[in-house]
């Protein structure tokens, strides 16, 4: 469609208020879609932050493990058998359990997720953790999750002020030794890291010989799948030997089936799409209706239906573009604000940006195509 | 729009056919015979045109007059390819408009310059853009050339200093002059004007008609103008008069000059 004088745009901008309304409609729709998809992605991503931080290619869990809040312990001797394999660099066992945090400022009790790690071989690669392993070896200390929800008190702020923070954990006085970044998720409002020794002090009923997660680091160049198969055979059916991605999938699958999050946010995204579609359609439709005499004139002068359809379609796409850019900027601001409040890993993912741009184009094109049907009412015989 | 070539093919076919059927129509700009036209269905069916027959030759300026309801506008829409023919034969610019090919009507319209009763300019464009818009139909004319030709055309109708005025800022007479520029800029083979002076006062109307006549004469373009403005009859080579859907007998005669002259 050649529109050498930009007819579609000249017509669109002629009525500023209408243009503003249409662009706002697209904008609202784009913001909604960004928010819905972003929150869904972030919620799921938050559930597997720990999985992504495991310092190993292979993970060992009990065969009846369900998810991080519903783990099952297995004998650490099984895991340490793998130390003998020529493919293995190191193995590390991780304890995990929910722990009672008593807010040192108001005495409120809250549950956090506590990980007991080996300070020689922590099995986790979290930025800044390596430097703090030495202090973690002290008696009755812990590392606190900087991204924990604010309900545990202003821990980070107080620490930065230089305060000594000694809350009660499982009724045991512990000292905060530093911060790590992990993040909140479904059912987990914040995380704590302690050494194996301190974990066993906090959970005196736990059997030291049984761990929740086993992390295996392979030598470079070793096939993960082959090692996984071999270890599974070696360890028997009491445990599951998984790649890191498979381990994360268990978590995602659980939360996807246990919560209606996927459905809710997909529906929300569709609502956003629908709002945009309706607004653009309404505006283009009334616009075509108001301009019927003009379109009839153009038809009489020899403009083909294809040209006029192209004109309307071009307008719908221009509206889409005009709405998408500011909509994305607003979404970016909302993401930043929500990140601060929810500690969810909300990011403007470029791939999702391309996807949403395509969705916006489809949305506008659909509205345009529906509005185009109105064109057939422009009868060139009525121009005289 | 890349359809022009294909469309020319279709048009060519239909033209060749008319030529082959030994019709004298091909040389005339408009050739119509035995045209009947009805509105409505069944008992409500009402005949609007009766056995209309006339021809317009290249370079002629012909006025079509008659009282309201005499069928002038209907005849004009048939000639312009805006309405489907029912009975009779009609050739315009060599295209057969009875049983036309799929794109014949569009092709005919593209070769006609239209001037409407109420200018029908696009309100969101400037005077220049309104004229330029015609080159959207001629992909072989570059944007720059289109702009220059449109500007020159507007100078010819005396609006050289109003190129970038929005339609709303032009007077009625100026708007109609833009409409004339728009109708003529693409080099039409026929100009159809429907009461171009109806919305104008006497002086502006006269001015517009004079301008149209001068430009058409200069470029040798035939004009068919529907009007019942008796003040402008003198520009015509010939006057056709419709009464109750029939061409009055004297209108087929040669030159009829208004009584006042």
When pLDDT is cut at 50, 70 and 90, the band that residue B28 belongs to is confident
3 state SS of B225: strand
Dump pLDDT digits (tens) for A158-203: 999 988 999 999 999 999 999 999 988 888 899 999 999 999 999 9
Contact call for A301 and B114, based on CB within 8 A: yes
ipTM (interface pTM): 0.82
> Which distant-in-sequence residues (6+ apart) come within 8 Å of A351 by Cβ?
none
> Which distant-in-sequence residues (6+ apart) come within 8 Å of B211 by Cβ?
B157, B158, B177, B180
In chain B, residues 215-254 whose CB comes closer than 8 Å to chain A: 226
Q: Does B135 touch chain A (CB under 8 A)?
A: yes
A141 - beta bridge partners? A175
Query: A35-51 burial by CB neighbour count: b if 16+ within 10 A, else e?
Result: bbbbbbbbbbbbbbbbb
- What's the mean pLDDT when you consider all of chain A? 91
In chain B, residues 105-124 whose CB comes closer than 8 Å to chain A: 106-107, 109-112, 114, 116-117, 120, 122-124
Residues of A in contact with B114 (CB under 8 A): 297, 300-301, 383
The enclosing H or E element of A275 equals helix A261-290
| pLDDT for the residue B181 | 93
Dump pLDDT digits (tens) for B30-70: 999 999 999 988 888 999 999 999 999 988 999 999 888 88
| pLDDT for the residue B253 | 43
pLDDT at A13 over 60: yes
| pLDDT for the residue A199 | 97
d(CA A322, CA A53): 40
d(CA A144, CA A167): 11
> Which distant-in-sequence residues (6+ apart) come within 8 Å of A264 by Cβ?
none
d(CA B129, CA B166): 9
| pLDDT for the residue B251 | 53
d(CA A220, CA B57): 91
Q: Does B139 touch chain A (CB under 8 A)?
A: yes
pLDDT at A115 over 90: yes
Return phi, psi of residue A140, to 5°.
55, 50
When pLDDT is cut at 50, 70 and 90, the band that residue A377 belongs to is confident
E-only strand ranges, B138-233: 190-194, 223-226
Instruction: Break chain A into its structural domains and give their ranges.
Output: 7-47+260-382, 64-236
d(CA B245, CA B66): 9
pLDDT at A107 over 80: yes
Closest CB from B73, B125, B129 relative to A384: B73
CA distances from B215 to A1, A231, A334, B146, B170 (A): 32, 94, 63, 19, 21
| pLDDT for the residue A3 | 63
d(CA B192, CA B115): 6
d(CA A306, CA A316): 15
pLDDT at B202 over 90: no
pLDDT at B80 over 60: yes
Q: Cβ distance B209 to B236 under 8 Å?
A: no
CA distances from A105 to A18, A101, A102, A141 (A): 55, 12, 9, 18
pLDDT at B257 over 50: no
| pLDDT for the residue A259 | 83
Of B80 and B26, the structure prediction assigns the larger pLDDT to: B80
d(CA B39, CA A272): 49
Q: Does A380 touch chain B (CB under 8 A)?
A: yes
| pLDDT for the residue B205 | 85
| pLDDT for the residue A127 | 87
State the count of interchain CB pairs (< 8 A) between A and B.
77
Closest CB from B1, B116, B124 relative to A384: B116
Q: What percentage of chain B exceeds 70 in pLDDT?
A: 85
For the range B202-210, what are the long-range contacts, defined as Cβ-Cβ under 8 Å and sequence gap of 24 or more?
B202/B231, B204/B171, B204/B172, B204/B173, B204/B176, B205/B229, B205/B231, B205/B232, B206/B231, B206/B232, B207/B173, B208/B173, B208/B176, B208/B177, B208/B180, B209/B235, B210/B235
Contact call for B73 and A300, based on CB within 8 A: no
A34 alpha-carbon distance from chain centroid: 12
CB-facing half-sphere around the CA of B2: CA atoms within 13 A:
1
pLDDT at B2 over 60: no
What integer is the mean pLDDT of A303-311? Answer: 91
First-last CA distance in chain B: 49
3 state SS of A220: coil
3 state SS of A344: coil
- What's the mean pLDDT when you consider all of chain B? 83
Dump pLDDT digits (tens) for A68-90: 989 999 999 999 999 999 999 99
d(CA A47, CA A68): 9
Contact call for B134 and A301, based on CB within 8 A: yes
Residues of B in contact with A287 (CB under 8 A): none
d(CA A302, CA B182): 13
Contact call for B122 and A5, based on CB within 8 A: no
User: In which region does residue B59 sit, left (phi positive, over 0), alpha (psi from -120 to 50) or beta (all else)?
Assistant: left
Q: Does B69 touch chain A (CB under 8 A)?
A: no
Residue with tokens 């007059």: B65
Q: For residue B28, which of B17, B18, B14, B13 has the smallest C-alpha distance?
A: B18
pLDDT at A55 over 90: yes
| pLDDT for the residue B11 | 39
Dump pLDDT digits (tens) for B137-170: 888 889 899 999 999 999 988 999 999 999 999 9
* Closest chain A residue to B73, measured at CA: A384
CA distances from B225 to A60, A93, B88, B117, B181 (A): 92, 97, 22, 11, 16
pLDDT at B26 over 80: no
3 state SS of B64: strand
How many residues in chain B?
261
Q: For residue B104, which of B96, B114, B112 has the smallest C-alpha distance?
A: B96
Rg (CA), chain A: 29
């Amino acid at each position: 469609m050649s529109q050498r004088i930009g007819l579609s745009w000249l017509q669109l901008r002629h009525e500023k208020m209408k243009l503003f309304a249409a662009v706002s409609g697209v904008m609202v729709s784009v913001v909604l879609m960004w928010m819905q998809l972003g929150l869904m992605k972030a919620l799921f991503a938050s559930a597997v932050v720990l999985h992504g931080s495991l310092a190993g290619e292979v993970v060992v869990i009990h065969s009846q493990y369900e998810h991080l809040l519903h783990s099952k312990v297995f004998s650490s001797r099984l895991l340490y058998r793998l130390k003998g394999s020529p493919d293995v660099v190191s193995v590390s066992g991780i304890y995990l359990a929910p722990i009672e945090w008593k807010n040192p400022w108001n005495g409120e009790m809250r549950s956090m997720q506590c990980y007991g790690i080996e300070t020689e071989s922590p099995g986790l690669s979290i930025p800044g953790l390596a430097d703090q392993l030495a202090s973690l070896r002290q008696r009755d200390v812990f590392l606190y999750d900087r991204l924990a929800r604010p309900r545990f008190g202003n821990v980070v702020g107080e620490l930065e002020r230089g305060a000594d923070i000694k809350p009660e954990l499982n009724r045991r006085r512990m000292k905060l030794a530093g911060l790590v970044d992990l993040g909140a998720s479904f059912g987990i409002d914040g995380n704590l890291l302690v050494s194996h020794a301190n974990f066993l002090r906090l959970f005196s009923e736990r059997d030291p010989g049984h761990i929740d997660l086993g992390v295996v680091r392979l030598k470079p160049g070793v096939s993960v799948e082959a090692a996984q198969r071999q270890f599974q055979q070696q360890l028997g059916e009491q445990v599951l030997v998984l790649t890191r991605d498979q381990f994360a999938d268990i978590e995602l699958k659980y939360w996807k089936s246990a919560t209606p999050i996927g459905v809710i946010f997909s529906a929300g995204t569709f609502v956003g799409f629908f709002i945009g579609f309706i607004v653009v359609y309404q505006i283009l439709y009334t616009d075509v209706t108001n301009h019927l005499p003009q379109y009839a004139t153009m038809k009489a002068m020899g403009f083909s239906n294809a040209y006029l359809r192209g004109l309307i379609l071009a307008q719908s796409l221009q509206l889409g573009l005009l709405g998408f850019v500011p909509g994305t900027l607003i979404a970016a601001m909302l993401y930043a604000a929500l990140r601060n409040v929810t500690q969810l890993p909300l990011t403007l993912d470029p791939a999702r940006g391309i996807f949403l741009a395509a969705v916006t184009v489809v949305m506008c094109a659909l509205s345009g195509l529906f509005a185009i049907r109105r064109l057939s009412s422009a009868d060139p015989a009525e121009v005289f | 729009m890349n359809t022009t070539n294909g469309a020319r093919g279709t048009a060519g076919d239909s033209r060749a056919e008319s030529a082959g059927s030994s019709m004298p129509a091909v040389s005339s700009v408009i050739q119509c015979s035995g045209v009947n036209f009805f509105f409505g269905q069944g008992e409500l069916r009402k005949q609007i045109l009766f056995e209309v027959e006339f021809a317009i030759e290249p370079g002629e300026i012909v006025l079509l007059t008659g009282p309201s309801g005499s069928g002038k506008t209907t005849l004009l829409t048939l000639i312009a390819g805006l309405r489907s023919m029912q009975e009779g034969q009609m050739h315009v610019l060599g295209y057969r408009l009875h049983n036309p090919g799929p794109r014949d009507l569009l092709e005919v319209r593209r070769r006609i310059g239209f001037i409407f009763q109420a200018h029908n300019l696009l309100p969101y464009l400037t005077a220049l853009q309104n004229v330029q818009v015609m080159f959207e139909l001629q992909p072989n004319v570059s944007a720059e050339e289109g702009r220059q030709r449109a500007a020159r055309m507007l100078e010819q109708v005396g609006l050289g200093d109003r190129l970038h005025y929005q339609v709303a800022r032009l007077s009625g007479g100026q708007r109609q002059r833009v409409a004339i520029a728009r109708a003529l800029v693409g080099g039409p083979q026929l100009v159809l004007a429907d009461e171009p002076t109806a919305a104008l006062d006497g002086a502006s109307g006269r001015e517009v008609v004079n301008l149209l006549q001068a430009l058409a004469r200069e470029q040798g373009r035939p004009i068919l103008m529907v009007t019942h403005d008796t003040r402008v009859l003198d520009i015509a080579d010939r006057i056709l008069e419709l009464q109750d859907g029939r061409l009055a007998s004297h209108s087929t005669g040669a030159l009829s000059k208004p009584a006042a002259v």
